[in-house]
Amino acid sequence: MKKDVAIVSYAHEKYGRLEMDTEEIIHKMVKEALNNTDKGIYSSEIDWIIVSCVDNQFSNQHQTGTVAWEALGNKNARAFRVEAACCSGSMAVYLGREFIRRNIATNVLVIGFEKMSNVSTEIATGILMRGSSPEERRAGITQPAAYALMIQHYMKKYGATEEDFAMVSVKNHENALRNPWAHFHRKITIEDVLNSRIIATPIRLLHCCPISDGAAAVILSGDPRKYTDAPVYITGMGMAHDAFSSFRREDPAFLLASKLAADEAYKEAGITPSQIDIAEVHDAFTPVEPMCYEALGLAERGEGYKLIREGRVMFHGDIPVNVSGGLKAKGHPVGATGIGMIVEQYLQLRGEAGERQVPNVEIAVVENHGGTGSVSLVTVLTR
Amino acid sequence: MRAKLKFYSIIYEPPHPFKVMYAVGVVEDEKGQVYPVRIESKYIPFLETGIEGEVIKESTIFGEVYHFIPDGKGFQLERVALITGASRGIGRATALEFAKRGYNVAINDLELTPEGESAIREITLMGRKAIFVKADISKYEEVENMVKEVIDAFGRIDVLVNNAGINIDKLVINMTLDDWRKVIDVNLTGTFNCTKAVLPYMIKQGGGSIINVSSMSAFIGTIGQANYAAAKGGIISFTKVIAREYARYNITCNAIAPGAVKTRMLLSVHPGILKERIAQIPLGRFAEPEEIAKVIVFLAETPYINGQVIHINAGEYM
């Protein structure tokens, strides 16, 4: 297990509705991340800034990299923005890590944000549909509908039920009660989920992540002990793609890109799925969460939904998943999401997750996919 | 090209720039090729995995789109109209007019009158189905049960005609609060109740049409009808809200504002006043209930009209 790049600091804003504009959010993340290392870091020590933001129409700003650069106040630093749909945040971390490993940088500040409340729900759904394949978009297949088609494959193939999926929503809402950064702090029941209005059959409102504002940041370092005695190492990272249209994949009921990304990350980290203590996965629509368990190897193919039935992925289960509340209840400000997931595991590994701390976390994993699984990144973190 | 529907999803919350609900699916053609397709909301009640149909390519503002048209669907549908206050007058004539156009009809009223019974007989003789559904529309629980009864009998509701109404005509100075409330409760709250109860079914089935019976009285300030005119005016505002709120579910809502129609309500007016009234009408006669019914059916079958008030008064008010 190679420990060459670690997280030495973070910043995290509460997800939900932010009054701040794009520039204020970025400034706040830069400032808080710089002030949050255990031993201190100067802005002059940051070599690169990578900003993750999915859509200009949300942010009203193309040059988010330059905004961050000005906020940092280090003329020698360089900054740019990345986009990889809903996994843009993980993509930004992936690049920052590679910059350090390839000696392009020693310290990289990675910021993710999205200001989605700038537009109405209809407009936001339309913007997010730009993450569907061209043929899906022409037919009018929205993100929930694209997931709905995959989920129907899954239900038909393996016998998962609407109750199973409702339980995932209930679990993630319950977990979010322990997370002060969560968009929702509301307990829900299986009946609430099953009676909520239909968005795209069989997906209901309470299966869907909210449209959230939010921001998160990490500082990655190739010299972590200089900044903290408790760094959290990124010991494995993988990235993979699959067909853009879900129905063109070899198996639309499986997240192949996430599995390939997980295989790559586990191989690099030298771990097996059985060693994982906790996972944050991409439950943009909760019926897909069991498919994430399978892609990560936490369950056999077609058996992911049994983990929720058996309670194993609950907060007190043997493999807690989405203790943060997940995208469903913590929120999904798309550009921030992947970084927010990584911040959660950073805190868990440092024992600083407060009320939602899972005991004895040694190995934590993040699965963050985009476009219903056409692109995916998996990250392994350890102390 | 011929194709089979493999999977589908009904989109109840259409994104920008789509405005109205629709379904999407994945089809497989005879060569084993798969395509994403759009499916118009009118086919929603017939969708099931494995059904066959035709796929046609259409140029739209969104580019070239494949549309799936299920085999023979859209023609087998038995349309259903629910008409409140339909045991006599405009409601009864509307029930018969819908039956003539091939609809099955649910006739609502407080009780089944001999005229209502004869309407049911006539509709049955036309080869359509008709049922009587008893409910006081001012009471939401009764309305909910009524709507369930119609769904149990016919499986759907394509058209709701909010026709039931009462009048208690008095000068405001003589009008009691009870007189006011009774008319508002039936005419305005009754329209709200029936609309609210029917909407979930119309949304689920992929669309529908709501026609509210307002009145010329709402426009001209008829003396002695403060309660009635206020309720009928409220119906017009309500109509416009429904037209906007539910267009996305392919549901239209319009109102009609009839003038003087030969109904029990009109004929209860003093003959002297009626004579004066008829003198105000350019065509010099009162409307037959059937003339009003024809407009209601026209609105139900013309989905591009939405949120409008159609005046039917022979030019008495223009």
Domain CATH for A73: 3.40.47.10
- Give the residue-averaged pLDDT of A41-68: 94
pLDDT confidence band for A170 (50 / 70 / 90) = very high
Q: Does A265 touch chain B (CB under 8 A)?
A: no
Q: Parallel, antiparallel, or unpaired: how do β-strands B22-29 and B63-70 relate?
A: unpaired
Q: Which two tokens stand for residue A306?
A: 């049994």
In a domain, A100, yes or no: yes
Asked if residue A237 belongs to a domain, the reply is: no
Question: Which of B4, B6, B10, B11 best probes binding to A when mutated, by most A CB atoms within 10 angstroms?
Answer: B11
**C-beta atoms of A201 and B9 within 8 A:** yes
The answer, for A118 touching chain B at a CB cutoff of 8 Å, is: no
**pTM for the model:** 0.87
Least confident of A66-70, A110-114, B62-66, B144-148: B62-66
Place of tokens 């009870």: B178
Q: A203: nearest CA in chain B?
A: B9
Count: domains in chain A: 1
**Structure tokens, B293:** 């019914």
Task: Give the residue-averaged pLDDT of A163-188.
Answer: 98
How confident is residue B259, by pLDDT bands cut at 50, 70 and 90?
Answer: very high
Residue A132: the pLDDT is: 87
In the predicted structure, residue A278 carries a pLDDT above the cut 70: yes
Higher pLDDT, A142 or A91: A91
**pLDDT bracket for residue B75 (50, 70, 90):** low
Which one of A57, A123, A125, A208 would you mutate to disrupt binding with B, by most B Cβ within 10 Å of its Cβ? A125
Name which of A138, A199, A203 is nearest B65 (Cβ-Cβ): A138
Residues 6+ apart with CB under 8 A from B174: none
Tell me if A107 is assigned to some domain: yes
Residue A332 a catalytic site member: yes
User: How many angstroms separate the CA atoms of B176 and B184, rounded?
Assistant: 13
Contact B12 A245 (CB under 8 A): no
Residue A90's domain spans which residues?
A: 6-120+211-226
Residue B17 in this model has a pLDDT that exceeds 90:
no
Identify the pLDDT of residue A269. 97
Mutation for A interface: B4, B13, B65, most A CBs within 10 A: B13
Q: Distance between CA atoms of A337 and A344, rounded to whole angstroms?
A: 11
Is the Cβ pair A139, B66 closer than 8 Å?
yes
Mean pLDDT on B68-78: 76
Q: Is residue A30, in this structure, part of any structural domain at all? A: yes
Residues of B whose CB is below 8 A from A197: 12
What was the pLDDT predicted at A213? 96
Question: A204: nearest CA in chain B?
Answer: B12
Average pLDDT score over residue span B233-255? 97
Of all residues in chain A, the percent with pLDDT exceeding 90 is 92
Residue B76: pLDDT band by 50, 70, 90 thresholds? low
Mean confidence (pLDDT) of chain B: 94
Q: Report the C-alpha gap between B276 and A83 in whole angstroms.
A: 75
State the average pLDDT over residues A99-110. Answer: 98
Chain B interface residues (partner A, CB cutoff 8 A)? 6-18, 22, 24-26, 34-38, 49, 62-66
Distance CA B64, CA B61 (A): 8
Q: Does the pLDDT value for residue A1 go beyond 80?
A: no
List, as ranges, residues 192-211 from A with C-beta within 8 Å of B: 197-203
Nearest CA-CA distance, residue B34 and chain A, Å: 8
Q: What residue segments make up the domains of chain B, in order of their start?
A: 2-70, 80-312
Q: Do A247 and B36 touch (CB under 8 A)?
A: yes
What's the confidence (pLDDT) of residue B155? 94
Nearest CA in chain A to B57: A139
Is A237:A265 a contact under the CB 8 Å cutoff?
Answer: yes
pLDDT at B74 over 70: no
Q: In the prediction, which pLDDT does B253 show?
A: 98
User: What pLDDT shows up at residue B77?
Assistant: 74
For B284, counting Cβ atoms within 10 Å of its Cβ (0-12 exposed, 13-18 middle, 19+ buried), the class is exposed
Is residue A103 included in any domain, yes or no? yes
The residue in chain A having the minimum alpha-carbon distance to the alpha carbon of residue B248 is: A122
Eight-class DSSP state of B123: H
**Average pLDDT, stretch B145-153?**
98
- Give the whole-angstrom CA distance, residue A357 versus residue B207: 49
Q: Which residues of A touch B16 (CB under 8 A)?
A: 120, 122-123, 125-126
pLDDT at A10 over 90: yes
CB-closest option in A129, A135, A199 to B12? A199
Q: How far is B201 from chain A (nearest CA, A)?
A: 13
Within-domain flag for A194: no
Q: Which candidate in A118, A149, A150, A151 is best for mutational testing of the B interface (most B CBs within 10 A)?
A: A149
By the CB < 8 Å criterion, does A57 face chain B?
A: no
% of chain B at pLDDT higher than 70 = 99
- Quickly tell me which residue has 């509307």 as its tokens: B94
Q: Which CATH architecture has domain B2-70?
A: Beta Barrel (2.40)
Banded model confidence at residue B266, pLDDT cuts 50, 70, 90: confident
Which among B11, B62, B63 is the nearest to A145, CB-wise? B11
Q: What is the pLDDT of residue A243?
A: 96
Q: Taking CB atoms and an 8 Å limit, are A122 and B15 in contact across chains? A: yes
Across the interface, of B8, B35, B38, the residue whose CB is closest to A140 is B38
pLDDT, tens digit, 9 for 90 and up, residues A68-86: 999 999 999 999 999 999 9
State yes or no: pLDDT of A227 exceeds 90: yes
CA A209 to chain B, closest CA, distance in angstroms equals 15
What dihedral angle (degrees, nearest 10) is formed by the CA atoms of B34, B37, B43, B47?
40
The strand pairing partners of A235, in sequence order, are: none
Confidence of residue A240 (pLDDT cuts 50, 70, 90): very high
Q: Rounded mean pLDDT of B255-267?
A: 90
Catalytic residue (one of A86, A87, A209, A292): A86
Radius of gyration of chain A (CA): 19
- From the list A125, A140, A149, the residue facing B22 with the nearest CB is A140
User: Which residues in chain A are closer than 8 Å to B26, comparing Cβ atoms?
Assistant: 149, 247
CATH number given to B80-312: 3.40.50.720
Taking the C-alpha atoms of residue A46 and residue A1, their distance in angstroms, rounded to an integer, is 26
Determine, yes or no, domain membership for A172: no
Kindly compute the dihedral angle of the four CA atoms of residues A253, A254, A257, A258, in this order, to the nearest 10 degrees.
130
In a domain, A280, yes or no: no
A333 contacts A212 by C-beta, under 8 angstroms: yes
Whether residue B72 is predicted with pLDDT greater than 80 in this model: the reply is no
Q: Which of B24, B80, B163, B172 is nearest to A133 (CA)?
A: B24
Contact A75, A84 (CB under 8 A): no
Q: Which two tokens stand for residue B240?
A: 């416009």
Average pLDDT of the segment spanning A44-59: 94
CB contact under 8 A, A126 and B17: yes
Q: How far is CA A131 from CA A134, A287, A334, B27, in A?
A: 9, 19, 11, 22
Q: Is A135's CB within 8 Å of B35's CB?
A: yes
